[in-house]
Amino acid sequence: MKRYALLFNLVLLLLAGCTATRQCNREDDSDPGNGTETPSGAKPGKKDKEDKDKDERPVEPSKDKTFWLGADISWATEMEAKGESLYGFEGGEAMECSALMKELGLNALRFRVWVDPAGSFCDKDDLLEKCRRAKAQGMAIMVDFHYSDYWADPQHQPVPKAWKGHSFEQMKEDLRTHTVEVLQLLKDNGIEPRWVQIGNETTHGLLWDYKSGRSAMGSTQREYADTVGHIDFAPEQYAGFIQAGHEAAKSVFPRTKTIVHLDDGWNFAVYEKNLGILEKYGVDYDMVGMSLYPYWAREKGRNDADGVISDCIANIRKVHSRFGKETIIVETGFEVDEGNPAVLEEGRRQLARIIREARNNTAGYCHGVFYWEPECRPSRYRLGAFGSDGRPTPIMSAFKDYDSAL
């Protein structure tokens, strides 16, 4: 009997060893990252090819069902330094801007960062202070890299002074270094942004200058002083900059979503051209950011605000269908005319419609809506959402009542 007992125990040990081996094999097969890497020198097998094929098919809406209501409040610290105070709808005590945004129904904040601005505002240390405030409020954070010392937008993508005269390869390294330096500062302080924009409104490219006094719109190549990353004259280099930014961001925060941000969210042709170039050169990025301004669309002959909004909602679906990318509206804004209540009411209605349709009418492909600098008084920026008394106008009420605002 003792001999049989010993044999029985031996069998149990062998079975346990096989089970452990199978479990270890399963754990070794799993990839804590994106599941596409193979050991150094190994050739991709059938499973790797299948995974690659899956990656190339349009993705389903992400499992994260949070719809983000946000604002870019990058001017907040500068306004404080100038003694400007902000209040809630009912007045009362002055409130810090991040806390006020949360009270008004927002759950995310966006902040721009410049390379070496003339003042201290919007540099990496100012960014850190604003991100600390957002984190204290439990709000998600978006970092908007301009890759410039000042404003970057479709008409301006000026090369930082410290990077001027550098070759494309050196400028890619400049971009990587700056991205890592800024994000590492946040990481060292316990802050992880949910999103990182690789450039701001890079519709016509990234890191290019044009001659003083000449408009970039409608210019020819001869009128540009530097075309390092212009989408028309150096598309492969533009793609290289976006790839470098994506890789730099992921090296610090692998879970953070990278965003390519373009303007004219209502115009699919803009997205087809720009994202098509990124596709051609195999660029990696996670999401598409859109600017949607019915007000500014009038300068391009679009005087139908509701048509502009409808076209943007349709464009979100088209971008996903064509490129397999989900979207977030990272900028919008509406005119503040304190002497005309009808204008304020129209702004509230349009914002409510954008939020409502972006959430309910995009098959889950849009993840949120951000207002650009709502805390501004109209004397500084006409498309803010606060009045000259530092209180929110009716426009801001759309963040809470968008479902009932018709």
Place of tokens 């994260």: 64
Contacts of 174 (CB under 8 A, 6+ apart): 160, 162, 163, 166
Place of tokens 């924009």: 197
User: How far out from the chain centre does Cα 64 lie?
Assistant: 16
pLDDT digits (tens, 9 = 90+) for 209-248: 875 544 444 444 445 556 799 999 999 999 999 999 999 9
Contacts of 207 (CB under 8 A, 6+ apart): 147, 157, 159, 163, 171, 175, 228, 229, 241
Question: How many whole angstroms separate alpha carbon 207 and alpha carbon 229?
Answer: 5
What pLDDT, on a 0 to 100 scale, did the predictor assign at position 209?
Answer: 82
What pLDDT, on a 0 to 100 scale, did the predictor assign at position 62?
Answer: 54
Burial class (CB in 10 A: 0-12, 13-18, 19+), 173: middle
Contacts of 237 (CB under 8 A, 6+ apart): 168, 228, 229
Q: Taking each helix axis as running N to C, give the angle between helix 168-188 and helix 235-252, from 0 to 180 degrees, rounded to the nearest 10.
A: 20
Q: Would you identify the CATH topology of the domain 72-401?
A: TIM Barrel (3.20.20)
Question: How many whole angstroms separate alpha carbon 106 and alpha carbon 366?
Answer: 16
Rounded to 5 degrees, φ, ψ at 275 are -70, -30
CB 308 within 8 A of CB 297: yes
User: How far apart, in Å, are the Cα atoms of 353 and each of 208, 301, 306, 404?
Assistant: 36, 21, 9, 10
SS3 for 68-87 is EEEEECCCHHHHHHCCCCCC
What pLDDT, on a 0 to 100 scale, did the predictor assign at position 226?
Answer: 66
Question: How many whole angstroms separate alpha carbon 319 and alpha carbon 216?
Answer: 26
Per-domain residue ranges of the chain: 72-401
User: How far out from the chain centre does Cα 366 lie?
Assistant: 12
Mean per-residue pLDDT pooled into runs of 10, the chain (406 residues): 41 41 37 33 36 41 80 98 96 95 98 95 98 98 98 94 95 98 98 98 92 48 69 96 98 98 98 98 98 96 97 98 98 97 97 97 97 97 97 97 73
Question: How many whole angstroms separate alpha carbon 333 and alpha carbon 380?
Answer: 14
SS3 for the chain is CHHHHHHHHHHHHHHHHHHHHHHHHHHHHCCCCCCCCCCCCCCCCHHHHHHHHHHHCCCCCCCCCCCEEEEECCCHHHHHHCCCCCCECCECCCCCHHHHHHHCCCCEEEEEECCCCCCCCCCHHHHHHHHHHHHHCCCEEEEEECCCCCCCECCEECCCHHHCCCCHHHHHHHHHHHHHHHHHHHHHCCCCCCEEEECCCCCCECCEECCCCCCCCCCCHHHCCECCCECCCCHHHHHHHHHHHHHHHHHHCCCCEEEEEECCCCCHHHHHHHHHHHHHCCCCCCEEEEEECHHHHHHHCCCCHHHHHHHHHHHHHHHHHHHCCEEEEEEECCCCCCCCHHHHHHHHHHHHHHHHHHHHCCCCCEEEEEEECCCCCCCCCCCCCECCCCCECHHHHHHHHCCCCC
